[in-house]
C-alpha cells in the first residue's frame, strides 16, 4: 500500500472483533477509515482504541435495512470521497437446529451476511465507478466469510448457508464488475477469538452447535490473522487477483480433507 497517496477504507462491523481489527490495520497504514456498525456507543468506544493520524468517521445504523445501508454508504463517501476499499465484516452468530430456529433467525442471517454486503457494494460501485483512479489500481472489495460455508456443523445451519451464499454471490460479483476496475475477494476464517464467537459458545448448549476443535496449527485464530489476509487483498500484490478465497483457519479444512 502506498503511504504517499491519500486513501480511505470503509469497514462494516467495525465496532468489535474482526471489523475493529481491520479498521485498526487500515488506520495504521495511514488510511482514513469509515467505521460502520449497528450502534453508536460501541463505535465511539472502538474509535477510542484506534491510533490514527488520519480521519476516523463513525456511522451507526441497521445495515440490514437497504435504505439505511445506502444512506450509510453515501455518508461514508461524502466524508471520504477518495475511498477505494470496502470490507464487509458485519456478522452475527445465532445458532440452532434448522427445524427449530425461528424463521426470523434464518432471515436475519441472510440479511446481514448476504443482502447487506450486496446492497452496500452496489452503492459503493455506483458512487465510485466514475473515479479514474480505479483504472490504474483497482478498487478493492473484500467479504469476510467462514469455513462454515464449506464445513457446516450441526446446529449452525442458518449461519453456514448464509456464508455459502455470500461466497457464491461474491465470486459472481467479481466477474460482473471486474471490467469496471474492482476486485472482489473473500477471506474465510476458521474459529477465531472474537466476542461474537465467545457469545455463540456461551449460548450454544441448547442449540446443538459446538465450535470447531483446535486446528492442526494448535491454536484458534486471532482477529489480526484475518486482518493480515484482508490487508493482502487490498495491497499492491493482489491487484491482479479477483474472485479468490483465502482460507485463514490454521489447517482445519485441510485436516478434514486429509
Q: Is 159 assigned a catalytic role?
A: yes
Residue by residue, DSSP assigns the chain as: --TTS-EEEEEESTTSHHHHHHHHHHHHTTEEEEEEES-HHHHHHHHHT---SS-EEEEES-TTSHHHHHHHHHHHHHH-TTEEEEEE-------B-TTTS-HHHHHHHHIIIIIHHHHHHHHHHHHHTT-THHHHS-EEEEEE--GGGTS--TTBHHHHHHHHHHHHHHHHHHHHTGGGTEEEEEEEE-SEESHHHHHHHHT-TTTT--PPPPPTTSS-EEHHHHHHHHHHHTSGGGTT--S-EEEESTTHHHHHH-
154 with 214: CB under 8 angstroms?
Answer: no
The answer to whether 250 and 229 are in contact (CB under 8 A) is no
d(CA 154, CA 96): 8
Q: From the candidates 26, 159, 170, 182, give the one annotated as an active-site residue.
A: 159
Closest CA to 157 of 227, 198, 105, 232: 105
Find the Cα–Cα–Cα–Cα dihedral 134, 67, 62, 127, rounded to 10°: 10
* Catalytic residue positions, numbered: 159
Amino acid at each position: 500500500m502506498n503511504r504517499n497517496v491519500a486513501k480511505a477504507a470503509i469497514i462494516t462491523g467495525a465496532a468489535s472483533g474482526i471489523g475493529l481489527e481491520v479498521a485498526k490495520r487500515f488506520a495504521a497504514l495511514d488510511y482514513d477509515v469509515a467505521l460502520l456498525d449497528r450502534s453508536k456507543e460501541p463505535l465511539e468506544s472502538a474509535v477510542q482504541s484506534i491510533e490514527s493520524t488520519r480521519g476516523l468517521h463513525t456511522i451507526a445504523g441497521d445495515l440490514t435495512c437497504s435504505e439505511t445501508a445506502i444512506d450509510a454508504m453515501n455518508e461514508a463517501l461524502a466524508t471520504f470521497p477518495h475511498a477505494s476499499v470496502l470490507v464487509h465484516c458485519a456478522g452475527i452468530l445465532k445458532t440452532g437446529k434448522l427445524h427449530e430456529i425461528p424463521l426470523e433467525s434464518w432471515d436475519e442471517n441472510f440479511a446481514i451476511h448476504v443482502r447487506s454486503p450486496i446492497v452496500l457494494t452496489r452503492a459503493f460501485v455506483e458512487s465510485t465507478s466514475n473515479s479514474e483512479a480505479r483504472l490504474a489500481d483497482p478498487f478493492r472489495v473484500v467479504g469476510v466469510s467462514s469455513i462454515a460455508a464449506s464445513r457446516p456443523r450441526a446446529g449452525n445451519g442458518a449461519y453456514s448457508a448464509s456464508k455459502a451464499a455470500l461466497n457464491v454471490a461474491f465470486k459472481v460479483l467479481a466477474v460482473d464488475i471486474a471490467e469496471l476496475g474492482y476486485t472482489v475477494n473473500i477471506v474465510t476464517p476458521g474459529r477465531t477469538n472474537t466476542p461474537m464467537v465467545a457469545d455463540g459458545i456461551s449460548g450454544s448448549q441448547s442449540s446443538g452447535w459446538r465450535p470447531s476443535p483446535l486446528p492442526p496449527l494448535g491454536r484458534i485464530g486471532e482477529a489480526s490473522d484475518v486482518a493480515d489476509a484482508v490487508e493482502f487483498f487490498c495491497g499492491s500484490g493482489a491487484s491482479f487477483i479477483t474472485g479468490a478465497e483465502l482460507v485463514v483457519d490454521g489447517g482445519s479444512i485441510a485436516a478434514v480433507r486429509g
